[in-house]
């Protein structure tokens, strides 16, 4: 295997993981990161403190040998704990099997472990405080600004891969150079992180092995557990409008909102007002881009190619699966980088678009539909069908979170299965009885196969 030289932009989660895949195949990798080394300086790990790790992400970590080191520091979450307006809670399990759980993981800790793991291959160098400001893809030149001195530095590259997130500078250069379809769709909603601290005894204030959700129609609050027994809360809220981040600013505004909408959460959050006013408000948007490459010299991966809103917990998992897919193509097309990049882009674009669409749909479900009577009825039928037709009828959430099925196929199968659920409810609006023979015929007609 001949050795290639790669330049990666961004040492967030995706960059070090991809660098490890490349390094383990004997390639030489340099990563350029705009921020300082978080292992040496206290800086933000990114837009969220913790993330949801599921099957696709776990698979990639296993492939590079890091899973066993990460797993002890994760917290399993078995379902959504719904907090109604009256304070009553009820659990909606993610799946029907004991292993159908997702895991809360510290973004910063995972990021640091990934960087160290990449460096320990001996083939990866990470250069911090290097902000990419432009790329000349004809001359294979990259222009960086050093954040500590503001000096500009021009460097040459052989092959460059953009792992630099939703605001990717490399993507901008590819879009300007090539015939690329690109659109960034703002959600119109943003987010703000808040905190539920531990009890004075050091224990969790509320149940830790679930994802807590306060669904309120046009917005919602969620909480994920941390290893220090705190919870990271995120308020997803309109950016503008009568009730929005634009109007809720003063201490009275904040307290009025939480007392009326999240009154069982407010007593858990002693620093609510301070956190709300101090913590920044983040924007949410989806990125649709096609293709993700330029010849054999430049490629986009992860959020740089397909940033998604965080409501399916798949941003990191989708990015990690990108790395796994690219590594598989390397094995199938050794050092034929034109074929590797072209095939990766062709295969993964539709998957990136599919998970972006599903993430938006899941936001509507989480903030509104989870407490809807019809939703609960459909969910009950969905679980019954899964038990009746194991391996053939799999709920969409399960296909996304607990399987390796390509996202585009998940979307297509999900649409067919929604039709089956609808027909079951037409036959019996209560959803209590299911005509097994009718469903079997529909599964054959819709060409839904066993997985």
Question: What pLDDT does 41 receive?
Answer: 84
Q: What is the mean pLDDT of residues 278-292?
A: 94
pLDDT the model gives residue 163: 98
Position 94 scores a pLDDT of 95
User: pLDDT category, 149, cuts 50, 70, 90?
Assistant: confident
* Range 244-247 contact pairs with CB under 8 angstroms and sequence separation of 24 or more: 245/190, 245/192, 245/281
User: Which among 119, 109, 122, 121 has a CA at the least distance from the CA of 33?
Assistant: 119
Q: Tokens at residue 202, please?
A: 């050091």
pLDDT of residue 371 exceeding 90, the answer is no
CA 279, chain centre distance (Å): 21
DSSP 350: H
- The share of the chain scoring above pLDDT 90, in percent, equals 89
More confident residue, 2 or 336: 336
Q: Using DSSP bridges, classify how beta strands 211-215 and 293-294 pair: parallel, antiparallel or unpaired.
A: unpaired
Q: Once rounded to an integer, what is the mean pLDDT over residues 320-340? A: 96
**Residues in CB range of 196: below 8 A, 6 or more apart:** 205, 206, 223, 230, 231, 233, 265, 268, 269
pLDDT, residue 46, reads: 47
Confidence of residue 45 (pLDDT cuts 50, 70, 90): very low
Cβ–Cβ under 8 Å, residues 246 and 240: yes
Q: What integer is the mean pLDDT of 81-88?
A: 95
Lowest mean pLDDT among 3-17, 32-46, 371-385: 32-46
Using an 8 Å Cβ cutoff, are 7 and 30 in contact?
yes
Going by C-alpha positions, the residue among 315, 354, 307 that lies closest to residue 165 is: 307
> How is residue 178 written in tokens?
């090539």
Interatomic CA distance for residues 317 and 51, integer angstroms = 10
Predicted confidence (pLDDT) per residue in 235-272, tens digit = 999 999 999 999 999 999 999 999 999 999 999 999 99
Task: Tell me the pLDDT tens digit for each residue of 207-216.
Answer: 999 999 999 9
Question: Which band of pLDDT confidence, cut at 50, 70 and 90, is reported for residue 394?
Answer: very high
Q: How confident is the model at residue 148 (pLDDT cuts 50, 70, 90)?
A: confident
CB 394 within 8 A of CB 387: no
Strands 211-215 and 181-196 turn out to be unpaired
The tally of CA atoms less than 13 A away on the side-chain side of residue 74 is 20
- Look up tokens 């895949």; give the residue: 21
Dist CA 229 CA 266 (whole Å):
17
pLDDT value for 47: 53
**pLDDT value at 428 more than 90:** yes
Query: Is pLDDT at 44 greater than 60 in this prediction?
Result: no
Phi–psi pair at 365, nearest 5 degrees = -65, -45
Q: How far is CA 353 from CA 190, 282, 305, 365, in A?
A: 21, 22, 10, 19
Instruction: Kindly list the distances between the CA atom of residue 334 and the CA atoms of 160, 256, 279, in Å, as whole numbers in the listed order.
Output: 18, 61, 47
Mean pLDDT of the chain: 94
Mean pLDDT score, 281-303: 95
Task: Assess whether pLDDT exceeds 80 at residue 43.
Answer: no
Interaxial angle between packed helices 14-24 and 55-64, expressed in degrees from 0 to 180 and rounded to the nearest 10 = 40
Residue 48: band (very low, low, confident or very high) from pLDDT cuts 50, 70, 90: low
């Amino acid at each position: 295997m001949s050795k290639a030289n790669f330049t990666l932009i961004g040492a967030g989660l995706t960059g070090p993981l991809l660098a490890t895949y490349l390094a383990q195949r004997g390639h030489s990798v340099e990563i350029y990161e705009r921020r300082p080394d978080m292992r040496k300086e206290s800086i933000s790990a990114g837009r969220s403190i913790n993330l949801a790790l599921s099957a696709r992400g776990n698979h990639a970590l296993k492939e590079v040998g890091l899973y066993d080191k990460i797993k002890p520091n994760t917290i399993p979450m078995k379902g959504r704990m719904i907090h109604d307006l009256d304070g009553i809670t009820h659990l909606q399990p993610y799946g029907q099997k004991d292993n159908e759980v997702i895991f809360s993981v510290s973004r910063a800790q995972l990021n640091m472990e990934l960087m160290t793991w990449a460096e320990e291959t001996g083939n990866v160098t990470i250069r911090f405080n290097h902000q990419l400001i432009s790329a000349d893809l004809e001359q294979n030149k990259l222009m960086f600004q050093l954040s500590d001195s503001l000096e500009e530095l021009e460097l040459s590259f052989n092959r460059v891969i953009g792992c630099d997130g939703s605001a990717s500078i490399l993507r901008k250069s590819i879009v300007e150079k090539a015939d690329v379809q690109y659109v960034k769709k703002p959600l119109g909603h943003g987010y703000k992180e808040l905190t539920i601290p531990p009890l004075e005894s050091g224990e969790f204030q509320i149940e830790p092995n679930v994802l807590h959700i306060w669904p309120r129609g046009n917005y919602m609050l969620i909480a994920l557990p941390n290893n220090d027994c705190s919870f990271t809360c995120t308020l997803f809220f309109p950016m503008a409008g009568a009730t929005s981040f634009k109007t809720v600013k003063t201490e009275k505004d904040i307290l009025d909102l939480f007392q009326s909408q999240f009154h069982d959460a407010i007593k858990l959050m002693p620093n609510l007002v301070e956190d709300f006013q101090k913590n920044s408000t983040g924007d949410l948007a989806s990125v649709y881009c096609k293709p993700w490459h330029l010849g054999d010299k430049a490629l986009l991966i992860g959020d740089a190619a397909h940033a998604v809103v965080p409501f399916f917990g798949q941003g990191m998992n989708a990015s990690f699966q990108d790395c796994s897919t690219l590594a598989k193509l390397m094995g199938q097309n050794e050092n034929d980088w034109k074929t590797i990049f072209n095939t990766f882009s062709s295969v993964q674009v539709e998957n990136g678009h599919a998970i972006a669409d599903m993430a938006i749909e899941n936001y509507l479900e989480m903030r509104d539909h989870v407490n809807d009577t019809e939703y609960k009825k459909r969910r009950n039928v969905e679980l019954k069908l899964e038990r009746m037709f194991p391996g053939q009828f799999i709920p969409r959430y399960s296909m996304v979170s607990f399987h390796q099925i390509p996202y585009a196929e998940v979307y297509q199968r999900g649409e067919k299965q929604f039709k089956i659920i609808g027909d079951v409810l037409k036959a019996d609006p209560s959803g209590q009885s299911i005509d097994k023979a009718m469903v079997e015929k529909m599964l054959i007609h819709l060409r839904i196969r066993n997985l």
